[in-house]
Amino acid sequence: MAFKRSLGPIGLMFTAVSGMLGSAWLFGPYYVSQAAGPAAVAAWVLGGLAMIIIAMTFAELACMFPVSGGNARFIHLSHGTLASFIFSWIMWIGYTAVAPIETLAILQYAAGSVPWLMTMQSGVAVLTPAGYGVAAAVLLLMCIINFSSIKWLSIYNSFVVWIKVLVPVCVAIILMMTSFHRENFTQTPGGFLPYGIDGVAQAISVAGVIFSYAGYAPAIALAGEAKNPQKTVPIVLVGAISLCIVVYTTLQIAFIGVHEPSHLMQGWHNLHFTKDVSPFVGITESFGLTGLAKTVFITAMIIPAGTAIIFIATSARVSYAMSQNGYFPSSMQYLSKHGVPVVAVLFNFVVGMILFFPSPGWQGMVGFLVAAFVLCYAIGPISLMALRTSIPAQDRPFKLPCHIAWSGLALFFANLIVYWTGWETSYHLGIAIFIGIVSFLCLRLMHKELAKKPLDFTHSIWAFFYLTAMALTSYLGQHGGGLKRIPAGWDIAWLAVLTIVTLYWAHAARLPESAVKSHIKNLEGL
């Protein structure tokens, strides 16, 4: 059974918007303000523009190969088995973790009224045993919703997405009408840029900006179930990210301006207020906006759920694609009568439950997720350049102009964001990648059929160089526990060099045209 193309262009765009407007608007403006102060506004704009540049490399690939789980297949087409597994594994980890973090966001907001759901440990909200049980029930319910067809999932999402757009905008407008201090942008300690470029870097990488925008990925993963994706995907990606830039920037401006200047004299890093574990509930209640506070609370139960549901669908499609590539058991390819990969959904539910241990709070999970998301976005520019040379005659309904410069810029931005997440995040992600590679090699040893498939090692050496170089840069760099051995400024220059070396090495190591065409024949839905 094959996936059904029942997702219209509006539904596909709403899917991208829904993926981006999740729990991030409930927490992001608070944590981003703490990281960058008033410059948080610039962080949202810069992060959004960087994500558009990265997304456009995927637009060409998705239009050329509109298949479900395409994110996990492009690198398989361009560089074969081993490189494909490494980046697909990183992608799968990131996508599967979104539903748990959105569930955590729901319970963290709910804990303001139902305190037994979470408890504070070292200043971080973590799930209680009872809260874990509720989290399991919420996550399971969202998986059950995914058992319906993608058409009904799109209808549900089309309803929720209006709430996701309108409520944050209304909250921003009402807060600006209630209390707005222009001097907060220039006259608080440190002025507009209190923590320099490093503050903006932290805001973009670990405070929530890129985590917010990375949610456009479902539009790529679900392209195989969309009507006429060749024409709609580029418009969907640019339109969805641009809309979210406007929403997040407006909300951030309101958040910066709403505070009394006297409350900011200790600096933005020390910004705290009553019920800041649920930031917008705390702010609206402090101004006596009881009705708005209740609206935010109810919305906090709905919005993250919508994003989680979309990413459950996305991660299941990635599991399906990885199974077709031979990385997961073939049972992941089972489709229900509605064209839903049910086994993959249930498997990712189990993994999601494991990811709740330990529960480090919403912000604690963001850095890891950003590194996983953005690192797998290296697939876009790398595969685009390789396939331009490997299969030059392939029909490209959308062809990115100046593809070499565009790919270089996209990979550089991706490298920069991963570097900014810091060594502590890179270290944990490196462990996860190592576990994945060992598991994959063991799987090949145990299954003779898998062992017969070429590993394409010579086409994948560049991936080991790239990941090792990024890890060493983080270890010796300026952020997140790095040793600070690479001077500030030189680290950026080195990342530019690493980008060029990686891009051209990966291009030289691409699969030959015959191998690429052989892989294309095995793609379903084309």
- Report whether 509 contacts 458 (CB < 8 A): yes
Radius of gyration of the chain (CA): 22
Strand partners, 7: 226
pLDDT at 273: 83
Please report, in tens digits, the pLDDT of each residue of the chain (526 residues total): 444 554 556 777 777 887 788 888 888 999 999 999 999 999 999 999 999 999 999 888 988 887 766 666 889 899 998 998 899 888 888 888 888 888 888 888 888 788 888 887 776 778 888 988 998 899 888 888 777 755 566 666 667 788 888 999 999 999 999 999 999 999 999 999 999 999 999 999 888 899 889 878 777 766 655 566 666 788 888 899 999 999 999 999 999 999 999 889 999 999 988 877 789 999 999 999 999 999 998 888 888 887 788 778 778 877 887 787 777 777 888 877 777 788 888 888 888 888 776 556 666 677 777 888 888 888 899 999 999 999 998 988 888 999 999 999 999 999 999 999 889 888 888 888 998 888 888 878 877 766 677 889 999 999 999 999 999 999 999 988 889 999 988 999 999 999 999 999 999 999 999 999 988 887 654 4
In sequence order, which residues have a C-beta less than 8 Å from that of residue 223 and are 6 or more positions away? 12, 62, 66, 67, 68, 70, 229, 233
Q: Dihedrals φ, ψ of 120, to 5°?
A: -95, 130
pLDDT at 312: 83
Tokens describing residue 70: 């395409």
In sequence order, which residues have a C-beta less than 8 Å from that of residue 401 and are 6 or more positions away? none
pLDDT at 199: 93
Alpha carbons within 13 angstroms on the beta-carbon side of residue 354 total: 8
What predicted TM-score, i.e. pTM, was given to this entire model?
A: 0.86
Strand partners, 124: 121
- Going along the chain from its start, the domains and CATH numbers come out as 9-521 (1.20.1740.10)
Tokens describing residue 11: 């539904």
Helices in 377-489 by DSSP H: which ranges?
Answer: 379-390, 403-420, 423-446, 448-452, 461-476
pLDDT at 71: 67
